[in-house]
Structure 1
Amino acid sequence: MIRTDLLELVSNLRAKGEPFALATVVRTVAATAAKAGAKAIIRDDGVISAGWIGGGCARGAVLRAARDAIKDGEPRLISVQPKDLLDQLGVAAGEAREGIEFAKNMCPSRGTMDIFVEPVLPHPQIVILGSSPVGVALADLAQRFGFFVIVCAPASDHADYGEVDVLADGFEPPGQYGGAGFIVVATQGKGDSAALKAALKASSAYVAFVGSRKKAEALRQELAQIGFDAERLKAFKAPAGLDIGAITPDEIAFSILAEIIEARRRGHRSELQVAVKE
């Protein structure tokens, strides 16, 4: 059972959209400081924020596994054993076999601990600027795929949307935006320039513009004239979405979400990425 203080911290970290890992001791053999069921919360900087999983015998291996798990989103099972047991198994410290990563216990206890390390990652964020039919369709579709949807549009246009996670007045991403999401400018003629300026100023994994290449090029030239960096202006994708011959707003929204999923899952960042820091 997770202690109340750990549950509260888990809830707070998830509410903030902060990634972390939950480490749980699942098995111990012989003398070990921690026993099965012991838990700890480890943040992405490798610091244990709460809980306890034993002393230095296992700590280093678990912290490394936690950082790796948060980075790639994959859980780990760590087995910390004394050298003679590792030798009997024919494995070396740092080696992985059949889904188990082995580490050496250097402590006098010479016990064995198996620790399951599970990453807890925030929902990916999609920020939709504008209230066009494509933006409305994308918001609805993205929620069904587990995205945290933030809509930035003039308050007078908020009624166009159904229920989303965050509705912000204007085009600037609000405080709930974590800075590594996917931004789609879906103004389609209603504030294109202002929305694109806001999108390019924000840090993100992907920025795309719903509109033709001709319109996008005109906007690039307009923003270049007022001092926007050329590399930033090259980075946004237009037209948004995969080329699937989409025509209707729903089809275009589907093509955009498919492109975002591809960028997220395959790590395609060369053409799509724009990470702008003030």
Structure 2
Amino acid sequence: MRTETLAELNAERAARRAAILVTDVADGGQRLVREAAMAADPLADLLASYLARGKSGLVEADGRQLFLTVQVPPVRLVVIGAVHISQALAPMAAALDLAVTIIDPRTAFATPERFPGVPLVAQWPDVALAGPVPPLDRYCAVAALTHDPKIDDPALIAALRAGCFYVGALGSRKTHARRVERLTEAGSTEAEIGRIAAPVGLDIGAVSPAEIALSILAEIVATLRRDRIRTAP
């Protein structure tokens, strides 16, 4: 690999942007396709397929063998609320290699004993997301689970503005209707609010905290696989 190409790959990785390195097996020729340019690439459909899976592999196109080296930013899951659902969700998400962070200003809930080995930030979301927690981006999922507007709403607003690929919020349809009113008053647009998955999680008839956690994680994975086919704005 040329030094220039390696530097470009590293720059995309540092910026948390996806990219695919296309290598011609026969002659060793390489070109880097950034996510924003994939839709216009001659191999657009093929690249989108591999990006959606997040896996590298050998392909054939126009009679040539190409190796696609797929570089996708690690997916982060930021959970708002150190609640029972979060206790079940954190280990499930970790098993899928999602980097989990839990934010909750209520120190009685956000304790290492309740969340062993999970990064905890015992601050209000607007403070946490502006400081100790890395900036949100489109490779982040945010799940607001406290049922407390003072905690959930600032996190939802931040997630929508950052373009997170998944934004979910716990609560009934009636609860969400009130949430929509609050977020509208706070300046969120109808299109932004429409991106919130509420009630959170796939409809699997979940009852227990673990089942609700499973439904949330399933919805996150489904959204991730679907959205990776799309190119960046």
User: Offset of 1:171 from its aligned partner?
Assistant: 1.5
For residue 18 of structure 1, what is the amino acid of its counterpart? R
1:181-237, Cα deviation, whole Å (9 max, x unpaired): 322111233723333333343312222111222222222223334444344334322
Q: Which residues in structure 2 correspond to 1:158-237 (within 5 Å)?
A: 159=112, 160-164=114-118, 167=121, 169-172=123-126, 173=129, 174-189=133-148, 191-237=151-197
Shift of 1:259: 1.5
Deviation, 1:25, is: 4.2
State the match for 1:115 in structure 2.
Answer: 66
**How far, CA to CA, are the matches of 1:158 and 1:194 in structure 2?**
22
Residues 43, 134 of structure 1: alpha-carbon distance in 2 compared, 3 angstrom cutoff: same
Alpha-carbon deviation of 1:151?
A: 2.9
Residue 26 of structure 2 corresponds to residue 72 of structure 1: no
Gaps of 5+ in 2: none
* 1:191 aligned counterpart, secondary structure: helix
> Is 1:102 aligned to residue 62 of structure 2?
yes
Q: SS of 2:125's equivalent?
A: coil
Structure 1 position 64, deviation (Å) = 4.6
1:142–1:257 contact (8 Å) kept in structure 2: yes
Mapped contact 1:69–1:119 kept (Cα < 8 A): no
Given that residues 111 and 120 in structure 2 are in contact (C-alpha distance below 8 angstroms), is that contact kept between their aligned partners in structure 1? no
Shift of residue 256, structure 1, vs aligned partner: 0.8
Structure 1 residue ranges without an equivalent (≥5): 29-35, 47-62, 78-98, 104-112, 270-274
Contact 1:130 1:171 in 2 (8 A): no
Structure 2 vs 1, CA of residues 148 and 258 (structure 1 numbering), >3 Å: closer, same or farther? same
1:239 paired residue among 190, 199, 211: 199
What whole-Å deviation, never above 9, does each CA across 1:220-259 have from its counterpart, x for those lacking one?
2233344443443343222111222212211110011112
1:44 counterpart = 2:35: yes
Q: Deviations over 1:43-101 (max 9, x none)?
A: 4356xxxxxxxxxxxxxxxx754x66654325575xxxxxxxxxxxxxxxxxxxxx521
2:91 to 140, 153, 156: 140
CA distance in 1, matches of 2:2, 2:209: 48
Equivalent position SS for 2:100 = strand
Q: Which has the higher contact order (CA 8 A, sep 6+)?
A: 2
How many pairs does the alignment contain?
Answer: 216
Q: TM-score under structure 2 normalisation?
A: 0.70
| TM-score, structure 1 as length reference | 0.60
The separation in 1 between residues aligned to 2:16 and 2:122, in whole angstroms, is 18
SS at 2:62 equivalent: strand
Match of 1:125 among 53, 69, 76: 76
Instruction: Indicate conservation of the 8 Å contact 1:185/1:195, yes or no.
Output: yes
Tell me what 1:252 maps to. 212
Structure 2 equivalent of residue 92 of structure 1? none
Query: Corresponding residue for 2:20?
Result: 21
Q: Hey, what's the Cα distance between the residues in 1 that align with 2:214 and 2:194?
A: 24
Task: Tell which structure's C-alpha radius of gyration is larger.
Answer: 1
**Cα gap change, 1:250 to 1:76, in 2 (>3 Å):** closer
RMSD: 3.9
Residues 210 and 19 of structure 1, relative CA distance in 2, 3 Å threshold: same
